[in-house]
Amino acid sequence: SYFYLQHTTLAVFARALRPDMGLPEVLEVLCAVPEYDELPVRHNEDKLNALMAKSCRFPVDARAPEDPHVKAHLLLQAHMSRAALPIADYVTDTKSVLDNSVRILQAMVDVCADKGWLGTTLAVINLVQSLMQARWVDEPSSTTLPHITPEVLAGLAPLLGAAGGAAGGAGALPVLAHALTVGGGGAGGGGTGGQAHPSRLGGGQQGGGSGSAVTDALAQLVGEAKMREVVQVCERLPVVSVRTGRPTLVNPDRPKGRSQEEADGAMTGSKAGDMVSTSTTTSSHNRELTHWSIDVELRRSSGAGASGGAGGAGGGGGRGKGRPRVYAPRFPKIKEEGWYLVAGDPVTRELLALKRLGIEERTTTRVVVPRVNGTGNEIASVTLYLMSDSYLGLDQQYDVQLVGGSSTAGPARGSKQGGAGGAAAKAAGLGAPPGFGQQHHGSAQQQQGGQEEGEDGEEEHHAASSLAERRARRAAAAAQRRAEAEAAAAAAGG
CA 23/CA 355 separation, integer angstroms: 21
Is-contact 445 324, C-beta < 8 A? yes
Is-contact 481 294, C-beta < 8 A? no
Query: What are φ and ψ of residue 245, in 5° steps?
Result: -85, 175
Q: Choose the CATH number for 143-245+290-427 among 3.30.230.70, 3.90.1150.10, 3.40.50.1220, 2.60.40.150.
A: 2.60.40.150
pLDDT of the residue at 307:
37
Using 50 as the pLDDT threshold, list the residues of the chain that sit under it.
Answer: 162-167, 184-194, 198-209, 259-260, 262-283, 304-314, 316-317, 405-424, 427-428, 431-466, 468
Residue 300 parent element (H or E): strand 291-302
Which of helix, strand or coil describes residue 106? helix
pLDDT digit string (tens) for 195-204?
Answer: 555 443 444 3
For residue 255, with 0-12 CB atoms within 10 Å meaning exposed, 13-18 middle and 19 or more buried, which class applies? exposed
CA 340/CA 113 separation, integer angstroms: 11
Which residue intervals of the chain bear CATH 2.60.40.150? 143-245+290-427
pLDDT digit string (tens) for 36-82?
Answer: 999 999 999 999 999 999 999 999 998 899 999 999 999 999 999 99
CA 217/CA 148 separation, integer angstroms: 13
pLDDT of the residue at 186:
36
Strand partners, 351: 344
Q: Which CATH class is domain 7-115?
A: mainly alpha
pLDDT of the residue at 377:
87
CA 394/CA 238 separation, integer angstroms: 8
CA 350/CA 475 separation, integer angstroms: 15
Query: What's the pTM value of the predicted model, to 2 decimals?
Result: 0.75
CA 473/CA 479 separation, integer angstroms: 10
Is-contact 146 153, C-beta < 8 A? no
Is-contact 169 251, C-beta < 8 A? no
Which residue intervals of the chain bear CATH 1.10.3380.10? 7-115
pLDDT of the residue at 8:
94
pLDDT of the residue at 275:
35
Q: Which of 270, 292, 284 is nearest to 479 (CA)?
A: 284
CA distances in angstroms from 194 to 242, 247, 343, 351, 414, listed in the order given: 11, 14, 19, 25, 19
Q: Which of 466, 475, 300 is nearest to 376 (CA)?
A: 475
pLDDT of the residue at 151:
94
Residue 482 CB partners (closer than 8 Å, separation 6+): 281, 284
CA 128/CA 225 separation, integer angstroms: 31
Count Cα atoms within 13 angstroms, Cβ side, for 356: 19
CA 494/CA 471 separation, integer angstroms: 34
